[in-house]
A and B are shown apart, each in its own frame.
Chain A
Amino acid sequence: MAQNPSRRAFLLRTGLAALAGGVAVPWLSWAAAKVGEAAPAFTAVASTGKSVSLASYRSRIVVLEWTNHECPYVRKHYETGNMQALQKEATGQGVVWLSVISSAPGEQGYVSPAQANELTQSRGAAPTAVLLDPKGTVGRMYGATNTPHMYVIDEAGILRYAGAIDDRPTTRTSDVQGAHNYVRAALHAVAAGQPVPAPVTHAYGCTVKYAA
Chain B
Amino acid sequence: MQPELSRDVGARPVAVPPDAERPPRQWTRWLPVAFAGAALLLGSAPPGLAASEGQGAGPKVRVELVSEVESLAPSQSFWVGLRERIAPGWHTYWSNPGDSGEPTALEWALPRGFAAGALVWPHPDRVHVGPFVSYGYTGEVVLLTRLTAPRDLEPGARVTLRGRATWLVCAKICIPEEAPVALALPVTAGKPSADVHGATVISRARGAVPTPSPWTASFSTTPDAVVLTVAAVGLNRERVTDVWFYPARWGVIEHAAPQAVTVAADGITLRVRRGVLPVATETPIEGVLVITERLDGGTAGQAFSLRALPRGLTGSTVADARPSVTLLQAMALALAGGLLLNLMPCVLPVLSVKALSLVEHAGARAAILRGHGVAYTAGVLASFGMVAGVLIALRASGEWLGWGFQLQSPLVVTLLVDVLFVLGLSLSGVVLIGGRLAGAGQALTTRLGYAGSFFTGALATVAATPCTAPFMAVAIGYALAQPWATALLVFETLGFGLALPYLLLTLVPGWRRLLPRPGPWMERLRQFLAFPLYAAVAWLVWVVSQEAGPQGVAVALAGLVLIGFAAWLYAASRAVSGPWRRAATATVALLALAAVGLGPVVGSRPSSPTGAAVPDPRGLSFEPFSTERVAELRAHGIPVFVNFTAAWCITCLVNERLALRSSAVAATFARKGVVSLKADWTTRDPQIARVLESFGRSGVPLYLLYPRAAAGREAGEPTVLPQILSEEMIIDAVERI
- Chain B residues whose CB sits within 8 angstroms of the CB of A25 once the complex forms: 258
Across the interface, do A207 and B125 meet the contact criterion of CB distance under 8 Å?
no
Question: Using an 8 Å CB-CB cutoff, how does the interface string of A21-34 with B read, 1 for contact, 0 for none?
Answer: 10001111011001
Q: Please tell me if B360 contacts chain A, counting CB pairs below 8 Å.
A: no
Question: Using an 8 Å CB-CB cutoff, how does the interface string of B9-29 with A read, 1 for contact, 0 for none?
Answer: 000001110001000000010
- Chain A residues whose CB sits within 8 angstroms of the CB of B100 once the complex forms: 145-146, 203-207
Across the interface, do B102 and A169 meet the contact criterion of CB distance under 8 Å?
yes
Q: Please tell me if B526 contacts chain A, counting CB pairs below 8 Å.
A: no
Distance A14 CA – B166 CA, assembled complex (angstroms) = 37
Question: Taking chain B's interface residues, is the majority helix, strand, or loop, or is none over half, making it mixed?
Answer: mixed
Distance A31 CA – B255 CA, assembled complex (angstroms) = 12
Q: Please tell me if B259 contacts chain A, counting CB pairs below 8 Å.
A: yes
Q: Which of B16, B299, B398 contacts A19 (CB 8 A)?
A: B398
Q: Please tell me if A179 contacts chain B, counting CB pairs below 8 Å.
A: no
**Interface of chain B residues 665 through 707 with chain A (CB within 8 A):** none
Q: Please tell me if A71 contacts chain B, counting CB pairs below 8 Å.
A: yes
Across the interface, do B241 and A70 meet the contact criterion of CB distance under 8 Å?
no
Across the interface, do A1 and B127 meet the contact criterion of CB distance under 8 Å?
yes
Across the interface, do B257 and A18 meet the contact criterion of CB distance under 8 Å?
no
Q: Which of A17, A70, A145, A200 contacts B132 (CB 8 A)?
A: A145
Closest to B96 in A: A202
Across the interface, do A27 and B130 meet the contact criterion of CB distance under 8 Å?
no
Q: Which of A16, A21, A72, A210 contacts B176 (CB 8 A)?
A: A72
Across the interface, do A206 and B173 meet the contact criterion of CB distance under 8 Å?
yes
Q: Which of A14, A106, A212 contacts B261 (CB 8 A)?
A: A14
- Chain A residues whose CB sits within 8 angstroms of the CB of B250 once the complex forms: 202
Across the interface, do B28 and A108 meet the contact criterion of CB distance under 8 Å?
yes
Q: Please tell me if A170 contacts chain B, counting CB pairs below 8 Å.
A: yes
What is the number of residues of chain B that contact chain A, defined by CB distance less than 8 Å?
53
Question: Using an 8 Å CB-CB cutoff, how does the interface string of B227-254 with A read, 1 for contact, 0 for none?
Answer: 0000000000010111000000011001
Shortest C-beta distance, B286 to chain A (Å), equals 16
Closest to A30 in B: B254
Distance A206 CA – B128 CA, assembled complex (angstroms) = 14
Shortest C-beta distance, B91 to chain A (Å), equals 10
Closest to A146 in B: B100
Q: Please tell me if A42 contacts chain B, counting CB pairs below 8 Å.
A: no
Q: Give the contact stretch, choosing among A2-10, A53-61, A127-135.
A: A2-10
Distance A143 CA – B396 CA, assembled complex (angstroms) = 28
Across the interface, do A13 and B258 meet the contact criterion of CB distance under 8 Å?
yes
Across the interface, do A18 and B271 meet the contact criterion of CB distance under 8 Å?
yes
Q: Please tell me if A162 contacts chain B, counting CB pairs below 8 Å.
A: yes
Across the interface, do B176 and A1 meet the contact criterion of CB distance under 8 Å?
no
- Chain B residues whose CB sits within 8 angstroms of the CB of A28 once the complex forms: 273
- The answer to whether residues A72 and B50 also contact, given A4-B241, A18-B271 and a CB cut-off of 8 A, is yes
Across the interface, do A10 and B241 meet the contact criterion of CB distance under 8 Å?
yes
- The answer to whether residues A3 and B16 also contact, given A10-B242, A21-B398, A26-B131 and a CB cut-off of 8 A, is yes
Question: Using an 8 Å CB-CB cutoff, how does the interface string of B531-548 with A read, 1 for contact, 0 for none?
Answer: 000000000000000000
Q: Which of A10, A15, A170, A210 contacts B398 (CB 8 A)?
A: A15
Shortest C-beta distance, A152 to chain B (Å), equals 15
Q: Please tell me if A209 contacts chain B, counting CB pairs below 8 Å.
A: yes
Across the interface, do B168 and A171 meet the contact criterion of CB distance under 8 Å?
yes
Shortest C-beta distance, A43 to chain B (Å), equals 23
Closest to B99 in A: A145
Across the interface, do B125 and A1 meet the contact criterion of CB distance under 8 Å?
yes
Distance A25 CA – B273 CA, assembled complex (angstroms) = 11
Closest to A143 in B: B276
Q: Please tell me if A107 contacts chain B, counting CB pairs below 8 Å.
A: yes
Distance A210 CA – B132 CA, assembled complex (angstroms) = 10
Shortest C-beta distance, B367 to chain A (Å), equals 47
Q: Which of B14, B15, B173, B398 contacts A108 (CB 8 A)?
A: B173
Q: Please tell me if A192 contacts chain B, counting CB pairs below 8 Å.
A: no
- The answer to whether residues A14 and B50 also contact, given A4-B242, A207-B129, A210-B131 and a CB cut-off of 8 A, is no
- The answer to whether residues A71 and B50 also contact, given A3-B125, A107-B172 and a CB cut-off of 8 A, is yes
Closest to A171 in B: B176
Q: Please tell me if B283 contacts chain A, counting CB pairs below 8 Å.
A: no
Across the interface, do B28 and A106 meet the contact criterion of CB distance under 8 Å?
yes
Q: Please tell me if A69 contacts chain B, counting CB pairs below 8 Å.
A: yes
Q: Which of A15, A17, A27, A34 contacts B256 (CB 8 A)?
A: A27
- Chain B residues whose CB sits within 8 angstroms of the CB of A204 once the complex forms: 100, 102
Shortest C-beta distance, A37 to chain B (Å), equals 12
Q: Please tell me if B49 contacts chain A, counting CB pairs below 8 Å.
A: yes
Distance A128 CA – B154 CA, assembled complex (angstroms) = 65
- Chain B residues whose CB sits within 8 angstroms of the CB of A107 once the complex forms: 28, 172
- Chain B residues whose CB sits within 8 angstroms of the CB of A77 once the complex forms: none
Across the interface, do B50 and A6 meet the contact criterion of CB distance under 8 Å?
no
Q: Please tell me if A75 contacts chain B, counting CB pairs below 8 Å.
A: yes
Q: Which of B15, B130, B292 contacts A209 (CB 8 A)?
A: B130
Shortest C-beta distance, B226 to chain A (Å), equals 13
- The answer to whether residues A71 and B174 also contact, given A1-B125, A19-B398, A200-B278 and a CB cut-off of 8 A, is yes
**Interface of chain B residues 528 through 577 with chain A (CB within 8 A):** none
**Interface of chain A residues 113 through 158 with chain B (CB within 8 A):** 143, 145-146
Across the interface, do A108 and B172 meet the contact criterion of CB distance under 8 Å?
yes
Closest to B105 in A: A170
Across the interface, do B398 and A1 meet the contact criterion of CB distance under 8 Å?
no
Q: Please tell me if B294 contacts chain A, counting CB pairs below 8 Å.
A: yes
Closest to A18 in B: B398
Distance A60 CA – B128 CA, assembled complex (angstroms) = 38
Closest to B168 in A: A171
Distance A70 CA – B27 CA, assembled complex (angstroms) = 15
Across the interface, do B130 and A18 meet the contact criterion of CB distance under 8 Å?
no
Across the interface, do A5 and B132 meet the contact criterion of CB distance under 8 Å?
no
Shortest C-beta distance, B11 to chain A (Å), equals 14
Shortest C-beta distance, A78 to chain B (Å), equals 11
Question: Using an 8 Å CB-CB cutoff, how does the interface string of B148-180 with A read, 1 for contact, 0 for none?
Answer: 000000000000000000101010111110000
Closest to A169 in B: B102
Q: Please tell me if B311 contacts chain A, counting CB pairs below 8 Å.
A: no
Q: Please tell me if B117 contacts chain A, counting CB pairs below 8 Å.
A: no
Distance A19 CA – B399 CA, assembled complex (angstroms) = 10
Distance A71 CA – B172 CA, assembled complex (angstroms) = 11
Distance A133 CA – B321 CA, assembled complex (angstroms) = 39
- Chain B residues whose CB sits within 8 angstroms of the CB of A30 once the complex forms: 131, 254, 256
- Chain A residues whose CB sits within 8 angstroms of the CB of B578 once the complex forms: none
Q: Which of A31, A70, A170 contacts B49 (CB 8 A)?
A: A70
Q: Which of B173, B174, B294 contacts A7 (CB 8 A)?
A: B294
* 6 tightest Cβ-Cβ pairs between the two chains A and B: A18-B398, A17-B258, A171-B176, A3-B14, A17-B260, A202-B250
Interface residues of A (CB under 8 A from B): 1, 3-7, 10, 13-21, 25-28, 30-31, 34-35, 69-73, 75, 106-108, 143, 145-146, 162, 169-172, 200, 202-207, 209-210, 212
Interface residues of B (CB under 8 A from A): 14-16, 20, 28, 48-50, 99-100, 102, 125-132, 134, 166, 168, 170, 172-176, 238, 240-242, 250-251, 254, 256-262, 271, 273, 276-278, 292, 294, 299, 396-398
In the complex, besides A4-B242, A7-B294, A69-B48, 16 extra interface pairs with C-beta distance below 8 angstroms are: A1-B16, A3-B292, A4-B299, A14-B259, A14-B261, A14-B398, A20-B258, A28-B273, A106-B28, A145-B132, A146-B100, A171-B176, A200-B277, A206-B173, A210-B130, A210-B131
* 29 CB < 8 A contacts A-B: A1-B14, A1-B126, A4-B241, A4-B242, A5-B242, A10-B240, A13-B258, A14-B258, A14-B261, A16-B258, A19-B398, A27-B131, A28-B273, A30-B256, A31-B276, A71-B174, A73-B174, A108-B49, A143-B276, A145-B100, A146-B100, A202-B250, A206-B170, A206-B173, A206-B174, A207-B99, A207-B132, A207-B172, A209-B172
